[in-house]
Structure 1
């Protein structure tokens, strides 16, 4: 079984507004509504790559119903826990002003519903894969990732963690199979500024020393670095393409890496698949399709190998 967890999923309302003006009525030139949240993004890309998986988390209200409906349309299986009060959040993303968005708060999640999620995770067994991605809502314990990892300890579940700072650091002692900070998040953990692929290597190795098995570091225009459990370091520049939408690119990289690993159990192939999926999503209006990932993979695999390994 392959599962993703999204504690606070959303409907993402993505709009273009030409010549946006504060204090005036603005009209959209294009609109798009998608189910959102880091775990959900991973689920969608995995499904686009032909890998069945189950999206877990919490939903509420009419927006929660719509999240589930849209995932069903995409072929993604879900098993969300229903919250009686409130609504799943709506996130407004304004494409015409890069990086501008307004994210909703989402519903309050009670301890009883948290325990219900834990009981669902109890069904995971050796060889299963669990993705934990994104922030934790204010209504939930801030050590939620740590609680889940502790509960699963010793069961042979492959865990993937895409989180920032303390959320990430506190789970390393449970030896996640994969963690994926970007270079800024990695630098924040250690109080340094990391700009180049060479810069991130020693700090990625520090995360390994703290317990992570594999460390995949995304670096936007600088490409990516993998510090693998087999001792190898893989580095690649960003593939050639036009950035269209960076939302979900990191989640796509995580999905692509694990899809590649599950396919061949080969770190180089998994790394290339991660870069291909992340880049294909960045080059597309929506999350990458299987054909788009395949096209970028051919480019990544065809790049010169000089300087890739340390």
Structure 2
């Protein structure tokens, strides 16, 4: 089973209008409420690929109930830890004529020690053959070591994990051998406090993450495509042609495509192909990509062995 952890999920209230005028009354052309959170995005793509997953995290209050109702529309399997505080609401304002998007993100609920322990107790059921995808921000009163503590816990039970984070938090998990890590080229440069001027520079520094413990490294490069670096070889996926509509969730979609396919096939090349398709398909969509779009984009992606 694939488990996704979204510690600080949200209702994303997306408002679309022609122009945002600060200090004035603005009226929207349309609005939509979406279930937000990086782990939720992963579960939604897995669902499109007809792969089972269980979404975990903290939800609470009236907004938490509304959030769970939104997930039911997407037919996601969930097992959330209920908390006393309200699930947050994030507001995203899309001004089409100005080509600007403004985001106002809530802080999220305060998680008590008892609530956190209930969540940790859920981890005991995760074991051999399972993989846990951890991503996104943490709610209030949750230590920054939260994901690392979970990784240690499930590793003892024989499960794999994926953590989508950056900086020292990512480096701290490498000795535990994450199944895949996915920095973009800028984040990879920041990790090693250097400039990565060439494709070979990126590959060389991705290999340093392998040396520190990662099993696979995905590096997204926006319009330049993406790289997969394994202990044996490096591969490149081209960036397919299309209009980028929404970059939110593209990275989550790439992880979902890779992890879901790897769980079925244990083939990193095919997993990379499907991950690249899922990421680009979401970038070309208003929301998380649907299967038809993923299948269409898959046909226009080529995987090239570089070394």
TM-score, scaled to structure 1:
0.94
Cα distance in 2 between the residues matched to 1:219 and 1:263: 26
Residue aligning to 2:51: 51
What are the residue-to-residue correspondences of 1:94-173 with 2, within 5 Å?
94-96=93-95, 97-173=99-175
Name structure 2 gaps, 5 residues minimum: none
Cα distance in 2 between the residues matched to 1:145 and 1:268: 27
Q: Does the Cα contact within 8 Å between 1:181 and 1:216 map onto a contact in 2?
A: yes
Question: 1:187-228 deviations in whole A, cap 9, x for unaligned?
Answer: 221112336543321111111111111111112222111112
Residue aligning to 2:218: 216
**1:95 Cα shift?**
2.2
Question: 1:143-177 deviations in whole A, cap 9, x for unaligned?
Answer: 11111111122332121111111221111111111
Residue aligning to 2:30: 30
> Residue 112 of structure 1 aligns to a residue in which SS?
helix
Q: Does the Cα contact within 8 Å between 1:135 and 1:163 map onto a contact in 2?
A: no
Q: Does the Cα contact within 8 Å between 2:93 and 2:101 map onto a contact in 1?
A: yes
Cα distance in 2 between the residues matched to 1:126 and 1:243: 39
> Residue 161 of structure 1 aligns to a residue in which SS?
strand
Query: Is 1:225 the counterpart of 2:227 in the alignment?
Result: yes
> Residue 108 of structure 2 aligns to a residue in which SS?
coil
Q: Does the Cα contact within 8 Å between 1:196 and 1:222 map onto a contact in 2?
A: no
Indicate the RMSD between aligned Cα atoms, in angstroms: 1.5
Cα distance in 2 between the residues matched to 1:193 and 1:67: 41
Q: Does the Cα contact within 8 Å between 1:131 and 1:159 map onto a contact in 2?
A: yes
Q: Does the Cα contact within 8 Å between 2:58 and 2:80 map onto a contact in 1?
A: yes
Residue aligning to 2:88: 89
**1:248 Cα shift?**
0.4
Q: Does the Cα contact within 8 Å between 1:34 and 1:70 map onto a contact in 2?
A: yes
Cα distance in 2 between the residues matched to 1:198 and 1:174: 26
**1:179 Cα shift?**
1.0
What are the residue-to-residue correspondences of 1:196-207 with 2, within 5 Å?
197-207=199-209
Name structure 1 gaps, 5 residues minimum: none
Residue aligning to 1:240: 241
Residues matched between the structures, number: 304
Residue aligning to 1:177: 179
**1:82 Cα shift?**
1.0
Cα distance in 2 between the residues matched to 1:254 and 1:155: 23
Residue aligning to 1:253: 254
**Higher alpha-carbon deviation: 261-270 or 48-57:** 261-270
Cα distance in 1 between the residues matched to 2:221 and 2:114: 39
TM-score, scaled to structure 2:
0.95
